[in-house]
Amino acid sequence: MTDVIAPPVETHEPTELHLPPEVPGDGHEPDHGGHEAHGPTGILKWLTSTDHKVIGLSYMITSIVIFYLSGITALILRLQLTSPHSSLLSFGQYNALFTMHGSLMLYLFAGPFAFGGLANYIVPLQIGAPDMAFPRLNALSYWLYLTGSITMLMTIFVAGGAAQFGWVAYAPLSSATSSPGAGPDLWIMALALTGFSAIFTGVNLCGTIFYLRAPGMTMFRMPIFTWNMLVTGILILIAFPVLTAALIMLFADRHFGTHIYTAVGCHLVNGLPMRSCGSPLLWQNLFWFFGHPEVYILALPFFGIVTEVLPVFSKKPVFGYKGMVFATMAIAALSTGVWAHHMFTTGAVLLPFFSFLSLLIAVPTGIKFFNWIGTMWHGQLQFTTPMLFCLGFLFAFLMGGVTGIMLASPPIDFATHDTYFVVAHFHQVLFGTAVFAGFGGVYYWYPKMFGRMLRESLGKWHFWLMFIGFWITFMPQYVVGLLGMPRRVASYPSNLGWQSYNIVSTVGAFIIAASFAFLLVNFVVSWRKPIPAGDNPWDAQTLEWATTSPPPHHNFTHLPPIRSERPTWDYNHPDALTVPHGKGAHNGHANGSGNGSGNGRVKETV
Amino acid sequence: MRVSAVFLLFLGLFFGLIGLVYWFWAYEDGGAVMLLGATLLGFLPGGYYFFWYRRFHGHKYFFWGKIPVAGERSSDRVDAEMADGAGNIDAFPGTSIWPFVMGMGAFMTVLALVFGAWLLFIGVPLILTALTGVTAESRRGGNV
């Protein structure tokens, strides 16, 4: 069945679009005309749906399952390190587990959760679109992601076991000689499938945002989350094709006799290797040309979540809207020119070039921090669960970011390369973004997705345990890294004083694990005893809160006028006194139904 | 459309500049080629948007030739009303089995590279069936 969609009719009735947050639950399912109300139901709906909301939810559920599985691998790894010569795992099993942990978290959780799950669900709603631009391609993306995830998990069960070369699969360790067997081949195929999935999603995000915005939703009125997803989509299109091509060449090296990543057969011409000679360093170049933008592919969506949540719970517009947009663009642009800062110690890269560009990323990131603080400054702060998670993100990411600046300096990088200092750094960056901000996004948008609230008390238990566990886990890793403990080791000398730090880190990891039990309990409680959310429980500002919870098929029955970057707030607060700041900001009330300025500039609402 | 064009052209320009600096400083061809690819990724769609932005404003090509001014799309106008977007947005499939079939076909095909060519006898027909089905579905405007 194909639906020909006409735009939702604008309404001028000043109907409240939100309900109070704490409507007492009556034990019944919330009555809504959600996405369940259209087409087939049950398993057939899941198999055939091209609705972005169903696909987005499928992505999120799959990626959260992956997250829990990967968390279990992390706990086993931490248990191994509580003793210098633990017999819990063999060296091979330890290598396979950390490879699986990194691969699951980075390729199959953090990215797909953000651009496959949250973006799929939220972006069309935020721009007033009925669906993604290419719904069938969107569905195909999910099936490739799911089959890629299954392929990755299959590596555990094949003869020879899972790949043991880490999530970066450096050549020549990933060659058929060093890593024989079906496990590494399946690892390559899993990433090829998810790579194509990501590319299709990137195309879909860009197409949707460029072409399906509602009338009046200009580029500079888009919510920052949507802006960040647009930039993420472009980064995906830059980075993932390189990874997919690199993987195909790796497979060819392993099975078809090519020598793209091996120096076999090279001979010297005038004292230099022939230019057509294969090179293990080529893999690192290609991989990190994907891998460093990938870090920002994993970070920018979560920056977007934070930029959505902070204004809502500060009761203010985002501070420095355009600054945020330009900072996002600058981060994306710079992130494509810094790939070889992961390769400083190879001795074969241009240190000043990559060091300078890496240090430069601190500037737009600092602008973002400044604007996040500016958004909260003098706001009416509400410390709800999503807000707490985003505040936790600020602390976690700040620490990860500062150590990132340190690592951008070659002398420090040479001293700390491949130590636990680096492990602590990137876990603080990625845990700060994908976990703190990511689950902040889950708490924030869950009412929109399911029409029911999560419990605040359980959410706060989740946050505080995770926040405490986070610092206990990763701060000792900085210290033990500076003491010289290398990463990716299953045992270590017992006379160097590393054990106590590892024990503390393991205790922290288990506290984090305990915190995630509260999330599961929260999901169960919200399903067994639902508290209806209403359309806009947070009194939020952007367009997704102007429709029902969950939204109907094709999203909107009517749309409010779009006169600023926060149309739902304008619509729900027509009498709010606005104090413009910025040149020419107050020309407003364009059609009498909003308090927007008509030019998309940021204003302060009193 | 102007913002989209400027945004993409800026990215292409930036990648081009650092690509040039990188090439003449490092003489490393792998990275330079990837930066060239990123430059094209900015310039090609950016140039396309710029072309259409100019056409909407009465320029037949980028800078020369005149045609009637069509004006901006409603999604690019700050004063647009919802009614300005009247008419059909597009035809969206309500449901389709073909993405699932194609996904399973791709799954079997990549597994064939690991476990043996016999899996191609499942994977390739699934992909071909899905390609045929989705094309017919798209053309007929309904489920096939």
Residue of B nearest to A54 (CA): B95
Burial A502-540 (b: 16+ CB within 10 A, else e): bebbbebbebbbebbebbeebbeebeeebbbbbbbbbbb
In angstroms, the separation between the Cα of residue A531 and the nearest Cα of chain B is 30
Window 22-51 of B: residues touching A by CB (8 A cutoff) are 22, 25-26, 28-31, 34-35, 37-38, 41, 49
pLDDT at B143: 53
pLDDT at A46: 86
Domain count, chain A: 1
DSSP string of A165-190, one letter each residue: STTTT-TTTTSTTTS-SHHHHHHHHH
| pLDDT tens sequence across A316-347 | 999 999 999 999 999 999 999 999 999 999 98
Residue type, B98: W
Residue A64 lies in a domain: yes
Tokens of residue A117, six digits: 């799950």
Q: Do A353 and B21 touch (CB under 8 A)?
A: yes
In angstroms, the separation between the Cα of residue B58 and the nearest Cα of chain A is 21
Q: Do B80 and A215 touch (CB under 8 A)?
A: yes
Residue A489 lies in a domain: yes
Task: For the beta carbon of residue A500, count every other beta carbon within 10 angstroms.
Answer: 11
pLDDT at A113: 96
Whole-number average pLDDT of chain A: 88
| Rounded distance between C-alpha atoms, residue A272 and residue A225, angstroms | 49
Question: Which of A126, A136, A200, A360 is the best residue to mutate to test the B interface, defined by the most B CB atoms within 10 Å of its own CB?
Answer: A136
| Rounded distance between C-alpha atoms, residue A36 and residue A133, angstroms | 21
- We report the CATH number of the domain holding residue A64 as 1.20.210.10
Q: Scan for tokens 């400054």, then name that residue.
A: A377
Question: Which of B21, B108, B110, B132 is the best residue to mutate to test the A interface, defined by the most A CB atoms within 10 Å of its own CB?
Answer: B110
Closest by Cα among B90, B134, B91, B89 to A2: B91
| Mean pLDDT (whole number) for A477-487 | 96
| Rounded distance between C-alpha atoms, residue A216 and residue B1, angstroms | 13
Tokens of residue A110, six digits: 């953090």
Residue of B nearest to A337 (CA): B18
Least confident of A50-64, A92-106, A444-458, B66-80: B66-80
Among A144, A192, A215, whose Cβ lies nearest the Cβ of B103? A144
Question: Which of B89, B102, B132 is the best residue to mutate to test the A interface, defined by the most A CB atoms within 10 Å of its own CB?
Answer: B89
Q: Do B3 and A251 touch (CB under 8 A)?
A: no
Q: How many helices (DSSP H) and strands (DSSP E) are in chain B?
A: 4, 1
| pLDDT tens sequence across A335-390 | 999 999 999 999 889 999 999 999 999 999 999 999 999 999 999 999 999 999 99
Report CA-CA distances (Å) from A224 to A469, A566, A602, B31, B129.
30, 11, 12, 31, 41
Which residues touch A20 (CB under 8 Å, ≥6 apart)?
A: A534, A537
Tokens of residue A276, six digits: 């057509």
Q: Is B117 on the interface with A (CB under 8 A)?
A: no
Confidence class for position A271, pLDDT limits 50, 70, 90: low
Residue A465 belongs to domain spanning? 49-263+275-605
Taking 70 as the pLDDT cut, the residues of chain B under it are 141-144
A559 strand-pairing partners? A10
Q: Do B100 and A47 touch (CB under 8 A)?
A: yes
Burial (0-12, 13-18, 19+ Cβ within 10 Å), A235: buried
Cα three-residue angle A202-B93-B86, rounded to 5 degrees: 90
Residue A35 lies in a domain: no
Question: Which of B78, B79, B108 is the best residue to mutate to test the A interface, defined by the most A CB atoms within 10 Å of its own CB?
Answer: B78
| Rounded distance between C-alpha atoms, residue A261 and residue A154, angstroms | 26
| pLDDT tens sequence across A110-120 | 999 999 999 99
Report CA-CA distances (Å) from B5 to A72, A231, B48, B114.
46, 14, 8, 44
Residue A274 has pLDDT above 80, yes or no: no
Among B41, B79, B89, whose Cβ lies nearest the Cβ of A238? B41
Residue A550 lies in a domain: yes
Q: Does ipTM surpass 0.90 in this model?
A: yes
Residue A115 lies in a domain: yes
Helix (H) or strand (E) holding A4: strand A2-5
Q: Do A237 and B78 touch (CB under 8 A)?
A: no
Confidence class for position A601, pLDDT limits 50, 70, 90: very low
pLDDT at A577: 53
Tokens of residue A283, six digits: 């893999």
- Are A547 and A121 a contacting pair, CB within 8 Å? no
Residue A586 has pLDDT above 70, yes or no: no
Q: Do B110 and A189 touch (CB under 8 A)?
A: yes
Residue A117 lies in a domain: yes
| Mean pLDDT (whole number) for A494-519 | 96
In angstroms, the separation between the Cα of residue B122 and the nearest Cα of chain A is 15
| pLDDT tens sequence across B7-47 | 999 999 999 999 999 999 988 888 999 999 999 999 999 99
| Rounded distance between C-alpha atoms, residue B135 and residue B144, angstroms | 9
Q: Do A147 and B103 touch (CB under 8 A)?
A: yes
In angstroms, the separation between the Cα of residue B67 and the nearest Cα of chain A is 23
| Rounded distance between C-alpha atoms, residue A58 and residue A52, angstroms | 10
| pLDDT tens sequence across A153-164 | 999 999 889 999
Burial B36-60 (b: 16+ CB within 10 A, else e): bebbebbbebbbebbeebbbbeebe
pLDDT at A38: 56
Q: Do A2 and B85 touch (CB under 8 A)?
A: no
Which residues touch A307 (CB under 8 Å, ≥6 apart)?
A: A224, A225, A228, A318, A324, A368, A371, A372, A375
Burial (0-12, 13-18, 19+ Cβ within 10 Å), B121: exposed
| Mean pLDDT (whole number) for A283-294 | 93
Least confident of A29-38, A39-48, A92-101, A231-240: A29-38
Instruction: Please give the backbone phi and psi of residue B57, each rounded to the nearest 5 degrees, phi first.
Output: -100, 25
In angstroms, the separation between the Cα of residue A183 and the nearest Cα of chain B is 9
In angstroms, the separation between the Cα of residue B62 and the nearest Cα of chain A is 20
Q: Do B91 and A3 touch (CB under 8 A)?
A: yes
Question: Which of A219, A543, A558 is the best residue to mutate to test the B interface, defined by the most B CB atoms within 10 Å of its own CB?
Answer: A219
